[in-house]
Homo-oligomer: A and B are copies of this chain.
Amino acid sequence: MDFEVRVAKSKENADRILKLGKEVEKTIFEGENPSIVLPVRGKRNVVWDKDAGLLSLGDSTSKRYFINVAHAKKFMQTMLVGAFSKQLLDEDIHASLREAFYSLKHTIKGSEENTFDEQKESDDVFVDLEVALAVLRDQLHINADRRGVAAGDVVIKDRGDLINWSKLGSGGWAIPGNVEELEFKDLNADFILVVEKNATFDRLHEDKFWKKHNCVLIGTQGQAARGIRRLIHRLNHEFKLPVYVFTDSDPYGWYIYSVIKMGSMNLAHASEELGTPDAKFLGLTVSDIYKYELRGAAIRAKDVDLRRAQEMLKYPWFKHKEWEAELNLMLKHKIKAEQEALAQRNLKFVSDTYLPEKIEAKNFLP
């Protein structure tokens, strides 16, 4: 993002915080009890928005009062967190949730009371703030933990640097925790391929898969971190690129896919900005284990896998005949497999045969 645009954006968000503060101040001067209205978070207010294809927050709201023994501390914390974010925006710097916690934690003068005792308290209030302001906390300069790697024919601009993802050797570009300010300057790709395992990223990267098949390759290193999910969302929305997700053939891998696609319970308030409902599941499926003769590399499913598969059958977002068939196949044969199982055919089987066949045939799960 250009400097001027970034400054304007920061100012806009700082002003939203200021407005919230001014309203509270005004109420106090009017002799009223200040309050903030917040959507209720947590499982009981998470709904499956079938039309949007996202897990979202429902309509329940709650009011937090300043003069209320049960709310007073939380109210004070909300003001502190707001002031902290505003300062970050004013100074044009960023902080992690952990740094924010330590910055904000202190003993209140003349008391033995701490502003915050546990990081969970400040984390929760940052979520409150992003919900109350309808702004991603990333845009309030709070960084998530970083994870993930990207490669492909893409040029981005980030902190003044022009970075070409196709020229970064075996390493690739380390995806930061906050991708709000990066701009896509040039992109030449037909789709985004998201892979769960580092080893799979390395295999496809060494085999020049992204070059041969004209795609952007993103490695999540397990569960996709917030920065990765936001990056996938942006690539999908800004370029209308299809997104294919490739994970292990087990409930954990399928969960990774579902979080990328429709968001998570925890971050349901941000699904619209983090989720990618267009995403399709490429594999591994349980049928792939049979179709691609990977039985010798399959693993016996554990009880926890079977329990998770049973649960997934009940989720409305997995209510598709294709997913039901796969989940039932797993429950019947009690097997699972890793992405690397494809190496049993041969090392390049995944790059030369499996992925091209699946993509060509559009053999995806919804």
Q: Quick one: which of B149, B156, B221 contacts A169, CB cutoff 8 A?
A: B156
Contact of A102 with B by CB under 8 A = yes
**When the two chains form their complex, are residues B159 and A163 in contact, meaning their CB atoms are under 8 A apart?**
no
CB distance from A170 to the nearest CB of B (A): 4
A107 to B296, CA, bound (A): 8
Closest to A160 in B: B169
Closest to A174 in B: B174
Contact of A323 with B by CB under 8 A = no
Chain A: residues with Cβ within 8 Å of the partner, total of 58
Residues of B within 8 A of A130 (CB): none
Closest to A148 in B: B174
Interface-side segment among A10-18, A30-38, A89-97: A89-97
A202 in contact with B176 given A96-B340, A158-B169, A169-B163 (CB within 8 Å): yes
Interface-side segment among A251-259, A341-349, A354-362: A341-349
**When the two chains form their complex, are residues A173 and B171 in contact, meaning their CB atoms are under 8 A apart?**
yes
A338 in contact with B297 given A170-B176, A173-B171, A198-B177 (CB within 8 Å): no
Contact of A175 with B by CB under 8 A = yes
**When the two chains form their complex, are residues B173 and A178 in contact, meaning their CB atoms are under 8 A apart?**
no
**When the two chains form their complex, are residues A99 and B343 in contact, meaning their CB atoms are under 8 A apart?**
yes
**When the two chains form their complex, are residues B344 and A297 in contact, meaning their CB atoms are under 8 A apart?**
no
**When the two chains form their complex, are residues A199 and B145 in contact, meaning their CB atoms are under 8 A apart?**
yes
Contact of A98 with B by CB under 8 A = yes
A340 to B97, CA, bound (A): 10
**When the two chains form their complex, are residues A98 and B199 in contact, meaning their CB atoms are under 8 A apart?**
yes
CB distance from A105 to the nearest CB of B (A): 7
Contact of A76 with B by CB under 8 A = no
A106 to B175, CA, bound (A): 37
**When the two chains form their complex, are residues A149 and B174 in contact, meaning their CB atoms are under 8 A apart?**
yes
**When the two chains form their complex, are residues B170 and A158 in contact, meaning their CB atoms are under 8 A apart?**
yes
CB distance from A194 to the nearest CB of B (A): 16
Q: Quick one: which of B169, B202, B221, B340 contacts A102, CB cutoff 8 A?
A: B340
**When the two chains form their complex, are residues B103 and A347 in contact, meaning their CB atoms are under 8 A apart?**
yes
Listed A/B pairs (9) with beta-carbon separation below 8 Å: A98-B338, A98-B340, A102-B341, A105-B296, A106-B344, A149-B174, A169-B176, A170-B178, A177-B202
| For the complex of A and B, 6 pairs with smallest distance between CB atoms | A158-B169, A96-B199, A174-B174, A99-B343, A102-B343, A170-B176
